[in-house]
Chain A
Amino acid sequence: MENLSELWHGFTIAVTVPHLALMVVGVLLGILVGVLPGLGAPNGVSLLLPLTFGMQPVSAIILLSSMYWGALFGGSVTSILFNIPGEPSSVATTFDGYPMARDGRPTTALATAFGSAAFGALIGVILITFLATWVAQVALAFGPAEYFAVYFLAFASFVGMGGAAPVKTIVALAIGFAIAAIGIDTVSGSVRLTMGVDELVKGVNFVVAVMGLFGIGELLVAVEEEFHARAVSSKIEWREVFRAIGRLPRHSVALLRSAAIGCWMGITPGGPTAASFMSYGIARRFSRRGRHFGTGEVEGIISPETADHAAGTSALLPMLSLGIPGSATAAVMMGGLMIWGLNPGPMLFVDQKDFVWGLIASMYVGNIVAVALVLLTVPVFAALMRIPFVVIAPLIVIICVVGAYSVSNSYLDVVMMLGFGIVGYLFKKLFYPLAPLVLAIVIGDKAEDAFRQSMLMSKGSLSIFFANKLVTCLIVAGLALLLLPLVLQLARLWRKPAAPAAETTAQEKVII
């Protein structure tokens, strides 16, 4: 029950006029980046990051996390009204959301989406409220070997459960590690991987990478298909909103199942995108009306939306209590934490109680604010989509350029950002996952330090990773996840030796 009194204390921090105002600003900006194709939650948050340097950490994280909630909601708006997913994680919402809206029930589709999204987020926050302290307490006893094992498990779960081709995930992860290693080595002080460019001594800032990978990269993908924003009516009928939300409890099985999938994928870093696809796929298989999926089924909206938001929210649990972000956006926020001088990980729960509980309380309030604001502003943001893409695209390019420059006033960063844009485009096009790449850039250094420190302790023997039960379990679980795709492949071959070794992953199948 100690958690509840801490939470109460958190509410006294979060529910103040300046913080509520920050939530409103954050959510509105979030919906904006969520609605605009080419700007998503990760680079929306990283654009805002330089502006938070002067703020109190708790105010800054409330602003950034509110933006995240807003972006998650905004992505669903365009998915449903325009059949254009504003966020990768809301692609699965288009499958049933858009058909329902086209059939003349846009309000029902939107209200169902927002209602189930709020439910997913609520489950995620409740999980954080009760589990985060416990995880942090366990983690306080961690040594470098345990930390490395947890990092290893996090990276392995991307490979085993991320939903993309495993070897592509491994390549993306390793590239992220290599980028993280550029610059001065924190242990020995020697300069690494600068390839003769002096300016690289300061390393590659993750904000620069995020701007390019998610900003320019997504823009290039979006410009390929000249979409016409043919909106179905975006008028909200308030009576229908309450009726649709009132009907949600009838689908409680789907809601709970999707929330569970979302929380699981958020904590083990699978991310919201993988969670929403997985939840949609499972719902289609188990629902009694599975055959009707794709024509505007209620459960086809509930499942991806609940999982998306549950994953997005619970991705903050490992970030806070272990220092391992569960999604790309959480990785950017964690980068922010480090810039504000906080050390993400279990010590936060001891040293920075106000910060942690202020954030958790703000997640309850922020999601309510987000649902209210998104319902109120749907017509406004829907109108925004009628601005031609050719006008929005150069503005987004300028935002990314200025954003990359303002990180450390360096022109090289701008050029690198553009380079990351090409990489982001290629990776997106070929289904290399971007989230593990960003995650590795942000925590690659820490993982390496943990590895080297444990090697120092054991004088170079790998046996330290099998020294006690906890660390052995983590390492074995990590190895199992790494090998999971291989085992599945072999099992498939064993069952039908003649079947072609199809490597299409779930996401690719859906998209093709």
Chain B
Amino acid sequence: MISRRALELATAVLTGSFGVTVVVSSLDNGIGWSSTGVEAGTFPFLTGIIIVLGSLYNLVRSVLPAATLANVPIAITSIELRRLAGLFVPAAIFVAAIPLAGMYVASSLYVFTVLAIPRHQSVPRALAMAAATALALYVVFERMFQVSLPHGALAAALGF
């Protein structure tokens, strides 16, 4: 279970650290005024500062026990969290598998696993859908629009 407060806090920390990164790396480009005009780092520097200040405000607001939204106690229940993971984890594994397996193999494996393993569909139907996905991708991208999708290291090793 994740409370609204914790989620607000985490997001504020996330945006804040992005802001700090922006501020630090924009210093490399130089900030302020030079003979050629406003230096390249100035604008990112200012936006970084705004991000940091805004995140700090959001952070303080989420910590303060004020009568705000933060006392909507639960933002994500454990069941919702499981559903989220059920969607996101396979998707992340799918993306991670693309360089090795290639888009076609990875996507059909992905479709097959998320449909067949939790028994949403029977194995033959899941197989058919997986094959159809790869075929549709091939026809639409490789043939119709001449966009080459990654074939993967495995296919390259096999000589495709």
**Chain A interface residues toward B at CB < 8 A:** 50-51, 167-168, 170-171, 174-175, 177-178, 181, 185, 187-188, 190, 192-195, 216, 219-220, 223-226, 388, 390-391, 393-395, 397-398, 401-402, 405-406, 409, 411, 414-415, 418, 421-423, 425-427, 429-430, 432, 448, 451-452, 455-456, 460, 500-504, 508, 512
Contact = CB atoms under 8 A, between A and B. Distances in A.
B33 A193 contact: no
Contacts of B57: 167
B3 interface: no
Contacts of A448: 43
Contact of B129 (A51, A194, A391, A414): A391
A181 B88 contact: no
A456 B35 CA distance: 10
Nearest to B146: A54
B43 A181 contact: yes
A178 B69 CA distance: 28
Interface in B113-160: 114-115, 118, 120-121, 129, 133, 137, 141, 145, 147-150
B58 A401 contact: no
B103 A405 contact: yes
B91 A418 contact: yes
Contacts of B129: 391
Contact of A395 (B4, B66, B103, B133): B133
Contacts of A451: 38, 43
B29 A391 contact: no
Given A174-B51, A194-B25, 11 more contacts: A167-B61, A181-B26, A220-B87, A394-B114, A401-B94, A405-B150, A430-B75, A452-B38, A455-B33, A456-B37, A504-B69
A146 B67 CA distance: 42
Interface string B12-46: 00110011011001100100010011111101100
A178 B11 CA distance: 17
Given A398-B107, A426-B7, A452 B91 contact: no
Contact of A188 (B26, B40, B47, B86): B40
Interface string B54-94: 11011001000011110010011000100110111011101
A69 B60 CA distance: 41
Nearest to A512: B72
Nearest to A423: B14
B111 interface: yes
Nearest to A195: B25
A308 B38 CA distance: 41
Given A411-B150, A430-B11, A503-B68, A193 B120 contact: no
Given A174-B51, A418-B92, A188 B115 contact: no
A178 B29 contact: no
A216 B87 CA distance: 10
The interface size bin for chain B is 35 or more
A398 B95 contact: no
A137 B8 CA distance: 45
A189 B151 CA distance: 35
B83 A223 contact: yes
A332 to B, nearest CB: 19
B18 A175 contact: yes
Given A223-B87, A390-B118, A397 B37 contact: no
Contacts of B58: 167-168, 171
Contacts of A423: 14
A401 B47 contact: no
B15 A181 contact: no
A415 B91 CA distance: 11
Nearest to A505: B69
A402 B50 CA distance: 34
B137 A418 contact: no
A187 B76 CA distance: 45
Contact of B95 (A185, A195, A414): A414
B69 A219 contact: no
A425 B148 CA distance: 30
A132 B92 CA distance: 45
27 contacts: A50-B145, A51-B145, A167-B57, A168-B54, A171-B51, A175-B18, A177-B47, A178-B22, A181-B22, A192-B26, A193-B44, A194-B25, A219-B87, A225-B80, A391-B129, A394-B111, A398-B133, A401-B94, A405-B103, A405-B149, A406-B141, A414-B98, A430-B4, A430-B11, A452-B38, A455-B33, A501-B67
6 interchain residue pairs of minimum CB distance: A500-B67, A171-B54, A174-B50, A177-B47, A224-B80, A456-B37
B60 to A, nearest CB: 10
A224 B76 contact: yes
